Structure 1
């Protein structure tokens, strides 16, 4: 079967698809599609929480959610002249990997390796730098380290209270100390093991069963009590003012506080710092939450950014003046989400999907070059929207039309089945609505700029106008349904005689008549620029 078509150049603008005769020959397959010139990925705007399986002097590993681990190397790392178990300070770049009773240690920037063999009767508890902490069958703790890379040396931990039960082993911003939370006589306490000689010292007794804690080589903060690691025995910790936030890390003399329990609506959490020397408070990173933690070299890592499309990991290090400095070191890729609708016009591709942080739907735009290649990042182009309301069996839902000026028109159906034409795209807060006077089961037949053409099941055709300064759409024309197309300010419809197409200027009301030469009245019209098809 075939249809008669005409391609007509119209000086006043338009392209029209003219369909006349009944098909008389079998339809032919479409030609092979050209190779794609580019791809885009619709991403959720929800900022993912990452954790850090390892973080040290030359780089770190991070894992977004339940996905695989990504390794990041710092480009300015200078390997030390010497690294090994005989130099505990060089352990800030050591990765420990345990396999049963064997712990393999690798210094990342130099490649130096060592192997710690856990003796029979001892069980692994934790590792930091070149040191491995174990417990034997009697409950005694041991620090294991190698000599010459393979011979394991066992140093018993001294000073750990008799009868105490360890409940938490915690690494922090240090490779010379490791924290242990223990319970004795119903009370919870926190102390540090000196990994050089195995000496344990209790610093804080807590009123909480599982106190928050953070430490480095200078300070231990536990249960909102702070004390210098090198304080004289018997020194009482200093009580800190509690706030509804987490003790994330100690960097230099600064305590990092993040992931607050409460923030005002419309605002993001921030990572803040409190000086353990002066008590001064400062903001380290705005819009920062989720993946925050210490690094073995005494620094910290934290995620921050306004959305998942600009969600980055920052390295936090101390300054010589006692402050902090931050450096963006990695971009966390946003998670993909499904595309539920698409349209393209005016050099922009619009995708519709559940992208907001709360899982709501919205339109997002991608700028395209003259060849159709994506050139810009995903940009939100509408408020958060409710799910598309589709009639039963409507395979064309959601219906949308890119209007060529950064806006999109689409259909929405209420609970009574009545449709409205909606318009979004000027910002991320505004949705304009144009009612169809209770019509339903319709289709968007086209649109451009401020105008959207709606064909209702009632047999009526409506042209809905969305001026930029308006607060809603207005039906400027209602007519019996025929083939029609709108481009710019001109509505193209079949003329009164066969093969004639009439263009009506919607602003001035003047008309233009074009003879296409087709021996029929068109049943389909498309208008693009100065062409009618």
Structure 2
């Protein structure tokens, strides 16, 4: 099912005219000073989030997920909302409840008020000349009345024919009358159906249909016939002479029925065969007329049947009109095109400026977009990669799924989780899915050990993943090496943060945190966060840290290592954990919306705020930890990428896997990889022979996001074989955002299997 959306999502998805009113669902207090880029969701092939209510010269449509959001749509592009408590509708007219009944004709713009009579209450039906109402007699029974509109001299006419009613309901109505379900007065009052004729103010009892049950949930009022369904057939009663009855076999119990001319239009389909079929009332072969009807069939002011649907061979949604011509033949026409709603986006993740989004339409698919990393934010309009759940790729969406959270690793991969049994309401087996974010990218899995509850991704960085889960009721954290496909032996503290190959954890009772190098298991660094408490919650991002002092978020603060500045954050305590994410010099807080606090000046400056539409779902959002920007979804499924002012952190290597000895003849020892803190515009790797002092350019490249990954086969960039021996490699890289110094990283490597040192013969 699509994600429920509010009024703004409907307006954004379906607005087609200059008069379209767009209520606010998620609004920013002011344009972000760092700029903003957006990308709308692709159009959905699923049904719109609309319900067809009525049809005249235009059509009346309401939002499936927002009560009272009825709007009149014209064929010339206008869309006008009915800003009132809607009681009933007829063609282009809408009646609004109140002390007086206000009726507006949206086709002409004419308005009219019908004053309420003493002891009268409105019913949900009216005609061009009268309004149906009721009063209660001394015994609490209902007596129906027709109250005259401005062009009707009879201002209050009692309805005769059935007497006082124990209860009643209007099932359908048109300009001539209403189909009424009612019960007689008294405890033994019989259940009946009747046709109320507005012209004569009489309620004529219709024939009782054996086997019809206590109520008819499937009835239809047409210009010539009334249809009442029982089991796999419909009983057709003549509207002018109720003694004339026909029975139409329809094979299966229909969802909706509506007579048109001498045809019965019935929605007898299901999800596998969603066909609307027309059955001749006097017998004959049925014929399909519509596919994928969404909602009800509506009797239009012209006597035709209207439905929000597609036609055979098309995914285009429109309001279609089914009518009978003078010879009785059926015609199907498009009355109003309905713009497709956006595909439902379930989750997003962003790292190194690359963003992925999980979409749900008729299937699940993942789209990847590329955002700019320098200057104002921008984003590619077309996706740069995609995958779709299919027989050949059944696990495509798992790495982008919402269960347990999802994340981008910063080296071109996305990770997510799945559970068996699904949902993990009981201890379950959890699988971590890792996918290369590129078209045709490979996917692999890692299983968490044992049965767990409440699994969730805490943080990801390159080849390492920090996850949380409960085992036998005890919360714990695990570190996964997703390159090796295994869970590491290290046991993180409850408060732990991951950055590159460093796992940061509290040490002692104060604000000191220690970094364990996951490559060696050794503690390699300490930082005093300047706090008097042991961190209860901890996040690390380069030289930035975020911590709290208690489960309710008390003492929330950021810390910047180079300036040794602790920055208290203006967060309200007593909030759930996990509502704050740390970026490069900023934090984003989820607090009934999103608040972005820029920390780069040394003070928490609120640069951006999104106020969530309170009736909708939580906004999905993500933070690019690798020198990048935050992103979020709005209620209209549009992605927003928000710029952050100020200088980003310098470029650095946050993890590396470089062999100490490289054998040019052995493929397994040639791989070298450096994980970067943010994208680079260009890079170059050189090797200086320690004996001769000669420097060789090994490889070079242009823009790279995430990791520099290469295989050195003992040759230089020109393809010449390099001599064996001891070398010092140097990696030089230019930051793509233009901020900070050029990266220079060095290390030793011994080359073998290439060419022997000069002056020595080959063996």
1:496 is aligned, of 669, 676, 687, to: 687
Instruction: Map Cα deviations across residues 409-432 of structure 1 (whole Å, 9 max, x no partner).
Output: 544679999977535776xxx884
TM superposition shift of 1:129: 3.1
How far residue 176 of structure 1 moved from its aligned partner, in angstroms, is 0.6
Q: CA deviation at 1:210?
A: 1.6
**How far 1:222 sits from its partner (Å)?**
1.2
Match of 2:113 in 1: 115
C-alpha change, 1:127 and 1:443, in structure 2 (3 Å) is same
How many angstroms does 1:255 deviate by?
A: 2.6
CA–CA distance in 1 between the matches of 2:315 and 2:370? 17
SS at match of 2:208: strand
**Pairwise mapping of residues 233-312 of structure 1 onto structure 2 (< 5 A)?**
233-238=242-247, 240-241=249-250, 243-258=252-267, 260=269, 262-263=270-271, 267=272, 269-290=274-295, 292-304=297-309, 312=317
- Structural mapping, 1:509-520, within 5 Å: 511-513=715-717
SS at match of 1:381: strand
State the Cα distance separating 1:396 from its structure 2 match: 8.9
- Counterpart residue number, 1:448: none
Is the CA contact 1:226–1:237 (under 8 Å) kept in the aligned structure 2? yes
Residue aligning to 2:235: 225
Q: Which ranges of structure 1 fall in alignment gaps of 5 or more residues?
A: 1-31, 78-90, 403-408, 446-453, 463-475, 486-491
Distance 1:163 1:71, change over 3 A: closer
> Aligned-residue CA RMSD in angstroms?
5.1
* Cα drift, residue 237 of structure 1: 4.2
Aligned length: 426
Instruction: Report the counterpart of residue 471 of structure 1 in structure 2.
Output: none
CA contact (8 A) 2:45 2:315 kept: no
Go from structure 1 to structure 2 and tell me whether the alpha carbon gap of 1:413 and 1:190 turns closer, same or farther (over 3 Å shift): closer
Question: Which 10-residue stretch deviates more, 238-247 or 116-125?
Answer: 238-247
Give the match for residue 330 of structure 2.
323
Q: Distance in 1 between matches of 2:286 and 2:299?
A: 19
TM-score, scaled relative to structure 1 = 0.63
1:44–1:337 CA contact under 8 A, matched in 2: no
Separation of aligned partners in 2, 1:444 and 1:92: 62
Give the direction of change, closer, same or farther, for the CA distance of 1:136–1:413 in structure 2 (3 Å limit).
closer
CA contact (8 A) 2:697 2:716 kept: no
Describe the shift of the 1:494–1:435 C-alpha distance in structure 2 as closer, same or farther (beyond 3 A): farther
The 3-state SS of whatever aligns with 1:75 is: coil
| Higher relative contact order, structure no. (Cα contacts within 8 Å, ≥ 6 residues apart) | 1
Tell me the residue number matched to 1:176. 176
Using a 3 Å threshold, how does the CA distance of structure 1 residues 155 and 76 change in structure 2: closer, same or farther? farther
Contact 2:43 2:342 in 1 (8 A): yes
Q: Which residue of structure 2 lines up, in the alignment, with residue 195 of structure 1?
A: 198
Q: Indicate whether 1:213 and 2:222 are aligned.
A: no
* Matching of residues 10-409 of structure 1 within 5 Å: 35-36=35-36, 39-41=39-41, 47=47, 50-66=50-66, 68-75=69-76, 92-100=91-99, 102-130=100-128, 131-138=130-137, 139-148=142-151, 153-160=155-162, 162=163, 164-172=165-173, 174-184=174-184, 187-206=190-209, 207-211=212-216, 212-223=218-229, 224-231=234-241, 233-238=242-247, 240-241=249-250, 243-258=252-267, 260=269, 262-263=270-271, 267=272, 269-290=274-295, 292-304=297-309, 312-320=317-325, 321-327=328-334, 328-334=336-342, 337=345, 339-342=347-350, 351-353=356-358, 355-356=360-361, 362-364=365-367, 375=381, 381-383=387-389, 385-386=397-398, 397-399=407-409, 409=413
| Alignment correspondent of 2:530 | none
Tell me the SS of whatever aligns to 1:385.
helix
